[in-house]
Amino acid sequence: MSKVEKAGIGGAGSTQSAAEIENTQWTKYKGPKGGHGFAAEDANALNDKFRGKKVEKTGVSNELNGSDRIVDGKMIQTKYYKTADGSVDAAFDQSTGNYRYKGQVLEVPKDQYEEAIARMKEKIAEGKVPGYTDPEKASEIVKQGDVTYKQSVNIAKAGNIDSLWFDIKTQSVVSGCAFGISFIISYATGIWQGLKPKKAFKNAFGSALKTGVIVLISGVGTQQLLRTSFGRSFASFTTKISRQLVTKIYSTKAGKELIEKIASAIMKKALHGAAAKNVISKLLRSNLVTATVTGVVLTIPDAYSAIVSKSISWAQFSKNLAVTAGGIGGGIGGAAGGAAIGTAIFPGVGTVIGGIIGGIAGGIGAAFGVKKVADLIAPDDAQIMIESMNEAIEELSYEYMLTENELESIIIPKIKDIVDAKWLKQMYKYSGGRSYVSDQKEFVREQFESYFEEVIKNRTEIKTPKLITLKWLAFTTRTRLIFGYIGMKFLSLFSKKKRELLAEPA
The 3-class SS string of 451-482 reads HHHHHHHCCCCCCCCCHHHHHHHHHHHHHHHH
pLDDT for position 182 = 76
Section 465-473 average pLDDT = 74
Q: Is-contact 33 149, C-beta < 8 A?
A: no
Section 48-60 average pLDDT = 87
Q: Which of 135, 117, 118, 136 is nearest to 126 (CA)?
A: 135
Sign of the four-CA dihedral 95, 101, 103, 106: negative
More confident residue, 376 or 460: 460
Q: Is-contact 76 107, C-beta < 8 A?
A: yes
pLDDT digits (tens, 9 = 90+) for 193-213: 888 888 889 888 988 888 788
Lowest mean pLDDT among 128-137, 198-207, 412-421: 412-421
CA atoms within 13 A on the CB side of 71: 21
Lowest mean pLDDT among 202-211, 212-221, 349-358: 349-358
Sign of the four-CA dihedral 369, 372, 377, 381: positive
Sorted by sequence, the CB contacts under 8 Å of residue 281 that are 6+ apart come out as 239, 242, 243, 246
Segment holding 69, helix H or strand E: strand 69-71
CA distance 51 to 53: 6
The partner residues of 506 in beta bridges, in order of sequence, read none
More confident residue, 116 or 488: 116
Section 436-457 average pLDDT = 83
Section 402-406 average pLDDT = 82
Confidence of residue 435 (pLDDT cuts 50, 70, 90): low
The 3-class SS string of 103-159 reads CCEEEECHHHHHHHHHHHHHHHHCCCCCCCCCHHHHHHCEEECCCCHHHHHHHCCCC
CA distance 433 to 221: 31
Segment holding 70, helix H or strand E: strand 69-71
Section 231-249 average pLDDT = 86
pLDDT for position 412 = 84
Section 490-506 average pLDDT = 65
Q: Is-contact 259 247, C-beta < 8 A?
A: no
Burial class (CB in 10 A: 0-12, 13-18, 19+), 84: buried
- How many other C-beta atoms are found inside a 10 Å radius of the C-beta of residue 391? 14
pLDDT for position 144 = 96
Confidence of residue 371 (pLDDT cuts 50, 70, 90): very low
Segment holding 430, helix H or strand E: helix 421-430
- How many other C-beta atoms are found inside a 10 Å radius of the C-beta of residue 59? 22
What are the residue ranges of helices labelled H in 226-272?
Answer: 229-250, 253-267
- How many other C-beta atoms are found inside a 10 Å radius of the C-beta of residue 144? 16
pLDDT for position 394 = 84
For the chain, the domains span 30-156, 164-377, 381-457, 465-506
CA distance 205 to 3: 17
Output the CA–CA distances (angstroms, integers) from residue 231 to 155, 224, 288, 292, 295, in the order listed.
16, 8, 12, 11, 16
- How many other C-beta atoms are found inside a 10 Å radius of the C-beta of residue 319? 24
Q: Is-contact 173 214, C-beta < 8 A?
A: no
Specify the amino acid at residue 68.
D
Angle (CA) 129 135 136, round 5°: 135
Section 296-311 average pLDDT = 65
Section 479-493 average pLDDT = 77
Q: Rounded to a whole number, what is the largest CA-CA distance in the chain?
A: 156
Residue-averaged pLDDT of the chain: 79
pLDDT for position 374 = 44
Q: Which of 367, 350, 231 is nearest to 290 (CA)?
A: 231
Confidence of residue 378 (pLDDT cuts 50, 70, 90): very low
Find which of 154-163, 368-377, 406-415 is predicted with most confidence, using mean pLDDT.
154-163
Q: What length is written for the chain?
A: 506
Percentage, residues of the chain above pLDDT 90:
25
CA distance 168 to 174: 10
pLDDT for position 366 = 45
Q: For the sheet with 69-71, list strands across it.
A: 55-56, 69-71, 74-78, 105-108, 142-144
pLDDT digits (tens, 9 = 90+) for 4-42: 566 666 666 777 787 788 888 888 888 666 689 999 999
